Amino acid sequence: MATISDLDTPLSGLNHIDALLSSGPDWNFVTPVANTIRYTFSIASHNEGGNNAGTGLMAFSAGQQAGARAAMAALSAITGIVFAETADGAAANVHFCSKDLGGNTAGLCSWNSGYSNSGDKLLSFHAGAYVYLDDSAAADPGNATLAPGSGGLEILLHELGHMMGLKHPFQGDIRLPAGEDNTSNSLLSYTGQGGPYSTFSPYDIAALNWLYGGDGLRGALGINSTGGGRYVTGTNRADSLTGTAANDRLEGDGGDDALNGGNGTDTAVFRGNYASYTVTNLGAGKVRVSGADGSDTLTSVEVLKFDDQSVQSPQTVTPPPVVTPPPVVNLPPIPPAGDTTAPAAPTLTASKNPNGYVAGDKPVVSGSAEANATVKVYSGATLVATTTAGANGAWSVATSALADGINLSLTARATDAANNVSIPSAALQFNVDTKAPAVPSASVLVAASGSVQFSGTGEVGSIISLSNAGTIFAEGTVASDGSWSLGGSVLANGKYDVTVSSLDKAGNATAAKHLLFTLGPTDVTAVTGTAGDDSLLSTPGNDLIDGAGGTDTASFPGLRGNYHVVRDSSGFVVTAKSGAGGMDLVRNVESIKFGDTTLKLEYDDVVQALYLAYFGRAADSGGLAAFQSQLGGLKAPLTFSAVTAAYATDAGLHSLIDSFGSSAESAALYPGATSAFVTAVFQNILGRAPAAAGLSFWTNAIDNAGLSRANASLSIMAGALENTSTQGLLDARLVNNKITIASDFTLAIDNPAEVTGYVGINAAAAVRGMLASVTASTDIAAFQAIIAKTLASLPGIGAQTGSGKWELDTVQLDTGLPGTPLVLVGVQHGGLIDAPM
């Protein structure tokens, strides 16, 4: 099993390779293990950072898509990885599109990766990438098809290099010498020499060989390979290449090279036919192979691989006798005949769970067919997918949406270049189910003996899971009559929040149902303040702490990290993670003091609303504290509606809220047109695009009527909270749910690793995505698990990012993003509640 330390890309010891190695995205570690990376040209969903067509995102043209497909096929030939196109953004690992990148920036690759772990062991790993061309570069007539010889294709190959884990050779601790840092050696260079190039340059291929071994993800060679072997590639100079104890592949690539395979069964690669080389056994385990590309001396190499055949090294076997060929007989020419032979039927397979279900309704099917044949997949007589087999015959494609059903069947046919069509493949049978089971009913019965019995109803055959504090303690299957029953054992005294979830045979899960109950003593101690400023101390067990009037502090003896703190409908709940601290309900209290820090509660919902409106995310701990302090110093109103009303007349408050619009994060999120900004704010707050009238109103108010962007976002938020129409009431519930969950996310940040983890572009995007999934009917208690999962995915907590995660590229120079982490700040507003939404 791979470990976290394995994610540190190992070096080859060769400068021309190591100068190109980035820190990720580590496709070799992606789980579940497969040799397919799916890519899409769709911009309909799952775009990065909330981008969409409304914010200036543009799809590749048909010609550019064709050029990108060819580039991916070339990359497949180098790496051995199957790159499969899908129309489903949710299923894609790599997304292609165009956008305004600004300045001299011609291309950009943004990658991310993350993992879950137990100690140092990796339990799961995911990676993704977004490859952009600048909209101006993409619109250039010379880049209309990304055809060979076009500058656009070279830009795309550069970005694909980043996507596959390569960096610029002039950055980092290991760099190419100035004399070698040019595009004839690596397309990742910014120094042009020759070109435009239509294929990766030699150093790029050497680095890709080192990373992926030429035999795909988790093959016998490359990083995290099953065999542990390495593919070590030299230059056109005299190189000394050394293998490992595993079965390695060594390729000198020009010059008089010394290749030492070490232990294992090692292979030397030569770029020419066997007859073009002279193989000499030097004895003592050494062999010389001489040809047009140099004279290489081989030690401990067992196999010689040429373009037309592989032979055993003469150090291990006696060479075959020379056979004199028979005399050549010249026959009269035979006129060429057309190809009338149909290709063999392709093979067809898909990944299914143990119950025979594929994932989703657009399964990825794959197989083998005649090289370069067109493969068409059918459901009955309906065409559901088309793709082209690679040079090695491998193919993979996602189908169009299939209806839910049992024992569905697909077949595939192959068509060769002469339009000969194969017979159908063997039928592939599977099940599709995209509908989650109904939320199970559940009840709990505590017997006099102390035993606890859980029971209810659910979808027949689905799995019922019971968990408490994130730990599953019972599972069972719903019987044929729709009933289930679990438990019967004695549980320890304490408060329980048991989550009841249902998982059907296809792996679809329901929203969780909660059973709240207490075993043992249920006494609650009331700790009540006065009309003045009080310090209220928690007691062992369960407390109801009510500050009443004044400015009050609730004090807890432990460190902040020893407690869970969440909001509820009328205050906050503080629960000790262990020991006798119990669960305390905190009401009318302005701060909560722990042994090492103090949580300020005043202005919490105001600041979260501002962050949500402008950035679509929860406040980070530092940003929340800073804005709370500044709002307190200004003696600002305590509610969002009152802050909205005071914005127009309070100069200090006006300036503070306007700082959201002048922040670095704002510049990165909203570099484009005002209409794109307005659309993004509506998406942040309401999860939908504005109506045409609303978009026109707000865009005109900002561009022509002097309304600041921060003021607009404040007004849109206020309108959502105060609209009393039927839709307005739904909007208000949605916004309040988002504010509460944003608050709970920030409150969940309770240790230094989590504080530093919630910094930067990727972390903000992850939380923005979490809040985008909230609805008016979201169960706040059930959502705590998603908050925990999102927090655990951030860098340094259970996620990985890398220096290459943002690769901005220009034609001549790298403009880049700011080198320091983004300062996470906030929004503005001013009384336009009745404006169209």
Predicted confidence (pLDDT) at residue 683 exceeds the cutoff of 80: yes
Predicted confidence (pLDDT) at residue 729 exceeds the cutoff of 80: no
Q: Please tell me whether residues 628 and 556 are part of one structural domain.
A: no
Among 568, 597, 626, identify where a domain stops: 597
Residue with tokens 């060429």: 336
Q: Please tell me whether residues 511 and 621 are part of one structural domain.
A: no
Tokens of 715: 């007004």
The most confident of the ranges 408-412, 585-589, 781-785 is: 408-412
Residue 303 within a domain: yes
Task: State mean pLDDT over 451-470.
Answer: 84
pLDDT, residue 570, reads 65
Tokens of 104: 């001299």
pTM higher than the cut 0.75: no
Percent of the chain with pLDDT over 90: 26
Residue 270 within a domain: yes
pLDDT per residue as tens digits for the range 171-215? 888 999 988 999 999 999 988 888 888 899 999 999 999 999 999
Least confident of 114-123, 294-303, 528-537: 114-123
Residue of 68 and 568 predicted with greater confidence: 68
Instruction: Give the separation between CA 431 and CA 338, rounded to whole angstroms.
Output: 42
Q: Please tell me whether residues 631 and 762 are part of one structural domain.
A: yes
Q: Residue 332 — pLDDT band, cuts 50, 70, 90?
A: very low
pLDDT, residue 782, reads 72
Residue 70 within a domain: yes
Instruction: Give the separation between CA 603 and CA 624, rounded to whole angstroms.
Output: 9
Least confident of 525-539, 797-811, 820-834: 820-834
Establish whether the linkage from the previous residue to 440 is cis, with ω within 30° of 0: no
The answer to whether 97 and 107 have CB atoms below 8 angstroms apart is no
The answer to whether 51 and 99 have CB atoms below 8 angstroms apart is yes
Residue with tokens 């291990």: 316
Predicted confidence (pLDDT) at residue 169 exceeds the cutoff of 90: yes
Q: Please tell me whether residues 71 and 185 are part of one structural domain.
A: yes
Among 577, 597, 617, identify where a domain stops: 597
Residue of 727 and 45 predicted with greater confidence: 45
Task: State mean pLDDT over 260-285.
Answer: 91
Q: Please tell me whether residues 199 and 253 are part of one structural domain.
A: no
Pinpoint the alpha helices (H) of 104-252: 135-139, 151-163, 202-212
Predicted confidence (pLDDT) at residue 817 exceeds the cutoff of 70: no
pLDDT, residue 421, reads 92
Least confident of 257-271, 295-309, 809-823: 809-823
pLDDT, residue 316, reads 54
Q: What CATH number is attached to the domain comprising 367?
A: 2.60.40.10
Q: Residue 328 — pLDDT band, cuts 50, 70, 90?
A: low
Residue 364 within a domain: yes
pLDDT, residue 821, reads 23
Instruction: Give the separation between CA 750 and CA 752, rounded to whole angstroms.
Output: 7
Predicted confidence (pLDDT) at residue 798 exceeds the cutoff of 80: no
- SS3 of 595-608: the string is CCCEEECCCHHHHH
Instruction: Give the separation between CA 161 and CA 151, rounded to whole angstroms.
Output: 15
Residue 217 within a domain: no
Residue of 498 and 379 predicted with greater confidence: 379
Task: State mean pLDDT over 561-579.
Answer: 79
Q: What CATH number is attached to the domain comprising 23?
A: 3.40.390.10
The answer to whether 525 and 541 have CB atoms below 8 angstroms apart is yes
Residue of 528 and 666 predicted with greater confidence: 528
Instruction: Give the separation between CA 602 and CA 646, rounded to whole angstroms.
Output: 17
395: helix, strand or coil: strand
Residue 32 within a domain: yes
Domain that holds residue 482: 441-519
Q: Please tell me whether residues 417 and 291 are part of one structural domain.
A: no
Q: Please tell me whether residues 551 and 472 are part of one structural domain.
A: no
Residue 219 within a domain: no
Instruction: Give the separation between CA 764 and CA 824, rounded to whole angstroms.
Output: 9
Instruction: Give the separation between CA 697 and CA 759, rounded to whole angstroms.
Output: 34
User: What angle (nearest 5°) sits at the alpha carbon of residue 172, between those of residues 171 and 173?
Assistant: 130
Instruction: Give the separation between CA 23 and CA 321, rounded to whole angstroms.
Output: 50
Q: Please tell me whether residues 97 and 139 are part of one structural domain.
A: yes
- SS3 of 804-832: the string is CCEEEEECCCCCCCCCCCCCCCCCCCCCC
pLDDT, residue 324, reads 56
Number of domains in the chain: 6
Q: Please tell me whether residues 130 and 258 are part of one structural domain.
A: no
Biggest alpha carbon–alpha carbon distance for the chain? 114
User: What angle (nearest 5°) sits at the alpha carbon of residue 590, between those of residues 587 and 592?
Assistant: 85
pLDDT, residue 206, reads 95
pLDDT, residue 639, reads 80
Tokens of 662: 């002048």
pLDDT, residue 571, reads 77
DSSP state, 176? -
Task: State mean pLDDT over 154-166.
Answer: 93
Per residue in 596-612, is it b (16+ CB within 10 Å) or e — as a string? eeebbbbbbbbbbbbbb
Instruction: Give the separation between CA 210 and CA 22, rounded to whole angstroms.
Output: 12
Residue of 617 and 714 predicted with greater confidence: 617
The answer to whether 375 and 393 have CB atoms below 8 angstroms apart is no
Q: Please tell me whether residues 632 and 760 are part of one structural domain.
A: yes
Residue 231 within a domain: no
Instruction: Give the separation between CA 128 and CA 132, rounded to whole angstroms.
Output: 13
pLDDT, residue 825, reads 24
**Exposed, middle or buried, 49 (CB in 10 Å: 0-12/13-18/19+)?**
middle
Per residue in 465-479, is it b (16+ CB within 10 Å) or e — as a string? bbbbeeeeebeeebe
pLDDT per residue as tens digits for the range 473-513? 888 899 998 998 988 777 777 777 788 888 888 878 776 67
Instruction: Give the separation between CA 264 and CA 681, rounded to whole angstroms.
Output: 60
pLDDT, residue 569, reads 57
Tokens of 833: 């509640």
Quick one: which of 417, 365, 368, 372 has its CA closest to 390? Answer: 372
Q: Please tell me whether residues 505 and 578 are part of one structural domain.
A: no
Q: Please tell me whether residues 353 and 384 are part of one structural domain.
A: yes
- Cα separations (Å) of 138 from 58, 97, 810? 10, 9, 13
